[in-house]
Amino acid sequence: MTSVKLYVYDLSQGMAKQMSLNLTGRQIDGIWHTSVVVFGQEYFYGQGIMNAIPGTTHHGQPMQVVDMGETYLTEEIFIEYLNSISSTFTAAKYHLLDFNCNTFTNDVCQFLTGRNIPDHITDLPADFLNTPFGQSMRPMIENMFGPSSLNGTAAPIQQQPVPSASSMSLLNNVSSAALSASPASVNPVQNIGNLSSLENLIKSQRGVLAFFTSSTCPPCRVIEPDFMRKLEDVNQDRIKVVGAKIDTHVAFDAAQKYQVRSTPTFMAFVDGKKFAEFSGANFAELNSTVDLMIFTMYPPHCHRKINLRAIFDISTDPILFKNSGNLENIIKKLQSLLDEANITLNPTEQTTLQKAKAFIEKPQENDGHFTPKEWDELVASICSKLPTDKQFPLLDLFRSLILSRDIGNFYTHDCTTIAKLIETAATQDVAKPTLLMTLRLICNTFAHPVLARTHFSSALPDSHRTIATSLLVKSLLSSDASVRQTASSLAFNFSCVTSKDRMERESTNEPPRDDEDWEVEIISAVTNALENETEGEIVYRLVSTLSKLLFLAPKESPLPSLVSILDIQKVIKEKDSIQGKTYGSKITALAREIDELVDASMREMDE
């Protein structure tokens, strides 16, 4: 177990406590910034998700340290979780009122310990807007961060005070402190004072757009806002192109070296070499130059050059089994199987079973009466006594419960019970109902991206991916069509995780995860299943799985070569019995696009 601490700071540095009563009519002790300390690091959100040695950030020492409890998760799973939410908590998405550092720490504490951070911290933005002063400041805040979705119930605007200089200073200080949690490694636009500084910048950055200007140049003043805005837009997630603003009257040696004869003049440099040059306040030229720089430095994947209508038509959502069925009959069946095995549930267990039924029917009315822990204990108790082949009604209830966010969050912390059920189905010759419900249970874990990603599709040491994959391989070759259909859904869900991860990494120019061995295993299993499959829906899901695993595969990936060697395209095209039926045209279109994906990847490897 590892302790989890919440560090609390006051962004106003005492100003809120001094000024709040006069300004808002109520006492506000601080404008709270929080971070989470776990595994020897302090994690916080501002310019993206950042970390530092505890207590060494620019905020100094915390005003308060809140004990959030302990976590049973490993550091590897936690880092995997942070990677999975990094595309959500970017610098561009930060909002002082709606989506801030406290949003991040609350989510992290929920993940680690199942607890929320104190209400007075998360409720502060809404409380602030429910004052006349808050409503008067709202336009300034929204001008800085964009519209807020929070509703205020303060007095009408005409009754609100005009913000004073001191209150505006407070807002600016708080905003600056909030966003400066960890500044980017280099400012997106830098003022250059001499030739040496410019040349050092060109050498140290992949892309540099030099803007030669002068204080006496009217066209320069016209184009400068566009220059700043363009660089701000392209550098939202990470620095791709650095702007260099050079006053030719100051950095005359730089102007002389690059033979600048008029202003404004723009010069683009990529990987230390001059890439483009143009003069004049021409935004169209500025815009296209920056876009071409990014295209050159970060060329799109070869698959992005193909018209992949059939692949893009495939759902990006996992396949879930949401129909809970007749719960009364399911529980009666479970009770009869318990009676046959001479197993008697104690009063607490009987109550838990009925509460589970009520929770599935009306989860919004739970109010804490039914807890995931008591369900987990019931499952462990019944499974320790009831033969495996008679556990399917219990698993049927479980696969409906796991769709709930609260239940999913619980098993994100400790997935041992689900892992044992999967291992039993994967390693034993279980009856069809138990196998089917186990497959549906694991499919429904994909309703929770973090649970599915960290426990069933991650290469982390504590992941259960290996046993889940064994269950998939076994089930894809089942003689029963309903088992194969559910297994094909699991294969598809695995591919959805891979596809989403690649697209997220593509958007931030991050290298793909090294999961080649696992992806090869999935593709091999899917190919074996396809060879003898005749059910149209199953074939379509398997072919969709192949498509997702191939799309955006890294240049060095063995997957395209594997598909070519196995001649999967031929296997798919030989499904003549499916042609003309519901899925026939879709499968034919996907087969054609798989050909194109493989061909494009093979050509790129040869270049």
Distances (CA, A) of 107 to 58, 88, 159: 23, 12, 37
The SS3 of residue 271 is coil
Residue 555: partners with Cβ closer than 8 Å, 6 or more residues away: 302, 601, 604, 605
Distances (CA, A) of 461 to 114, 448, 502, 561: 23, 20, 21, 28
Rg (CA), the chain: 29
Distances (CA, A) of 9 to 20, 44, 145, 548: 17, 12, 21, 45
Secondary structure of 329-369 as H, E, C letters: HHHHHHHHHHHHCCCCCCHHHHHHHHHHHHHHHCHHHCCCC
Residue 320 and residue 447 in contact, taking contact as beta carbons nearer than 8 Å: yes
Burial 146-180, CB ≥16 within 10 A → b, else e? eebeeebebeeeeebeebeeebeebbeebbebbbe
Q: Which of 101, 109, 220, 443 is catalytic?
A: 101
For residue 220, which phi and psi values (nearest 5 degrees)? -65, -40
Q: Which two tokens stand for residue 330?
A: 């399911």
Q: What amino acid occupies position 255?
A: A
Residue 441 and residue 399 in contact, taking contact as beta carbons nearer than 8 Å: yes
Residue 1 and residue 71 in contact, taking contact as beta carbons nearer than 8 Å: yes
Please name the residue that has the structure tokens 């088992």.
Answer: 483
Residue 134 and residue 154 in contact, taking contact as beta carbons nearer than 8 Å: yes
Catalytic status, residue 302: no
Closest CA to 387 of 346, 338, 329: 338
**N-to-C CA span, the chain:** 51
Residue 583: partners with Cβ closer than 8 Å, 6 or more residues away: 536, 537, 539, 540
DSSP state of 4: E
Residue 186: partners with Cβ closer than 8 Å, 6 or more residues away: 204, 205, 239, 242
Q: Which two tokens stand for residue 70?
A: 């302990």
Secondary structure of 106-163 as H, E, C letters: HHHHHHHHCCCCCHHHHCHHHHHHCCHHHHHHHHHHHHHHCCCCCCCCCCCHHHCCCC
Residue 208 and residue 201 in contact, taking contact as beta carbons nearer than 8 Å: yes
Strand partners, 46: 48
Burial 74-106, CB ≥16 within 10 A → b, else e? eebbbebbbbbbbbebbbebbbbbebbbbbbbb
Catalytic status, residue 301: no
Give the whole-angstrom CA distance, residue 397 versus residue 331: 8
Residues in the chain: 607
| Residues taking part in catalysis | 33, 101
